[in-house]
Amino acid sequence: MVTTTNIAAGARLTLWAETAADLMMPNPMSIRGNATVREATEVLTDHGFSAAPVIDDAGRPLGVISRGDIVLHDREKSASLGAAGYYEQADLTTHGERLGSGFHVQAMDGTLVRDIMTPAVFSVGLATPAGKVVAQMLALKVHRLYVVERDGTLVGVISALDVLRHLQPEG
């Protein structure tokens, strides 16, 4: 389905938000630092997110886990396993009984999110002017900024799409 707008080619757009609080999506989905990479993969995949903030027990952001971090981890893990990561059919036994050809052996990865996350969080306060939020996103070349309370607790996220939602034609 094609959606069209009736905005004239020369129409100016105005950002209809004053602060980060106006732009943000409140209560963002987050992942604890002690979650496993497998749990993070499921959360990101199930919710369709490309990244999520990693928080401590007090709700303060520690870093960001992205699909890219997970892919890199899997690639490095596979490279370090090499041939040792594969099992010959003759090696597959359980309690002394040989496993049939229909069984699949999967090595469980116990790596924690805090061990592979990007340990940097770009954030702004609730009262940060909207223009400064946009300028910061452009300067940092990021798709999202996290919004924190004065005590550092995560309260929201602002994505590039959130900024676009607040653009309206002057008029």
Segment 30-65, tens digit of pLDDT: 999 999 999 999 999 999 999 999 999 999 999 999
**7 vs 50, more confident:** 50
Position 82 pLDDT exceeds 70: no
- The C-alpha atoms of residue 81 and residue 71 are separated, in whole angstroms, by 15
* Predicted structure pTM score: 0.76
User: Please, what is the average pLDDT of the chain?
Assistant: 86
Query: What does the pLDDT read at residue 163?
Result: 97
Position 110 pLDDT exceeds 70: yes
By mean pLDDT, which of 18-27, 60-69, 73-82, 100-109 is the weakest?
Answer: 100-109
Segment 113-137, tens digit of pLDDT: 999 999 999 999 999 999 999 999 9
At residue 130, what is the residue type? A
Domains defined for the chain, CATH in brackets: 14-79+105-169 (3.10.580.10)
Query: What does the pLDDT read at residue 83?
Result: 47
Which residues, at least 6 apart from 41, have a Cβ–Cβ distance to it below 8 Å?
Answer: 70
Query: What does the pLDDT read at residue 170?
Result: 83
- pLDDT band at 11, cuts 50/70/90? confident
Rg (CA), the chain: 22
Position 88 pLDDT exceeds 70: no
